[in-house]
């Protein structure tokens, strides 16, 4: 259960609502968590909800990946988790803050993962 190490710290950050800042974000990152919650509750096989879940998971994974291309000499600042771990974080973060943007949950996760990566002193 490697993914659990991402979930608990991310939930703690989401619960504080640290990163509800207004920034220029495009795509499904601008969607609120209630869209994610609705898509996750839909019965399996509903095409639109399946697409919504996939797009949001992919958007978060891309957002996290972008943190590793900051233009600095450090090649990586975080490890990008697998899609199932991202779904777990979105499930828990959005359950805590259904009005939050997907971006806010993703950014909280990015900050958590960056801290984990730095604490392990890996480059």
> 49-69: per-residue pLDDT in tens?
999 999 999 999 999 999 888
- pTM score: 0.77
Q: What is the pLDDT of residue 20?
A: 44
Q: What is the pLDDT of residue 17?
A: 45
Domain ranges, ordered by start, for the chain: 35-119
Q: Comparing 55 with 5, which gets the higher pLDDT? A: 55
The answer to whether 91 and 6 have CB atoms below 8 angstroms apart is no
Q: What average pLDDT does this structure show over 19-45? A: 82
């Amino acid at each position: 259960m490697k993914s659990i190490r991402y979930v608990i710290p991310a939930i703690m950050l989401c619960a504080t609502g640290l990163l509800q800042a207004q920034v220029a974000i495009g795509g499904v990152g601008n969607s609120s968590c209630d869209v994610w919650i609705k898509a996750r509750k839909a019965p399996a096989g509903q095409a639109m909800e399946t697409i919504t879940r996939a797009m949001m998971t992919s958007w978060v994974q891309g957002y996290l990946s972008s943190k590793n291309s900051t233009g600095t000499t450090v090649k990586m600042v975080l490890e990008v988790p697998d899609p199932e771990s991202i779904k777990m974080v979105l499930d828990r973060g959005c359950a805590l803050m259904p009005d939050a943007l997907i971006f806010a949950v993703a950014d909280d996760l990015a900050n958590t993962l960056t801290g984990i990566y730095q604490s392990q002193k890996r480059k």
